[in-house]
Amino acid sequence: MKTRSLYSEIIFNLSPTNNISEAFKRFGCSDGDDSVLVVFIHNEDESQLLADLTARVSGRQVPVEEVSSLTDHAKVKKLYKVTQEEEKSGTLLDAVVCRMAAKDVM
């Protein structure tokens, strides 16, 4: 791990760069956010923590299948520098996951 916690590692790995501060600026929460994706990793004994977390977030939960509809695809393409050629041969998700997987190599 390159960061101090599993949750910060998730945010860091979402970023196309190796700059941890930049990752938190881009993928961390801000007061003006109207949509957030919460990643909660726990074991069965900690299921009450999920209920506590859910109670603290104002808004409604949506199925993970709806995340794409909440995504600004143009911003994602720009951030991850996805080319038109890549889009022709695969999906935007494929291109982003490829970038994430290859981040340490590049």
pLDDT digit string (tens) for 12-62? 999 999 999 999 999 998 888 888 888 888 887 777 888 888 888 888 888
Asked if residue 64 belongs to a domain, the reply is: no
Domain region containing 76: 71-106
Task: Give 72 or 103, the one with higher predicted confidence.
Answer: 72
Asked if residue 35 belongs to a domain, the reply is: no
pTM of the model: 0.79
Q: How would you class 27 by CB atoms within 10 Å of its CB: exposed for 0-12, middle for 13-18, buried for 19 or more?
A: middle
Asked if residue 76 belongs to a domain, the reply is: yes
Q: How many CB atoms lie within 10 A of CB 45?
A: 7
Asked if residue 30 belongs to a domain, the reply is: no
Asked if residue 101 belongs to a domain, the reply is: yes
How many domains does the chain contain in total?
1
- Report the alpha-carbon distance of residue 1 to residue 104 in Å, rounded: 12
Asked if residue 47 belongs to a domain, the reply is: no
Asked if residue 89 belongs to a domain, the reply is: yes
Asked if residue 91 belongs to a domain, the reply is: yes
- Count the residues in the chain: 106
Percent with pLDDT over 70 in the chain: 99
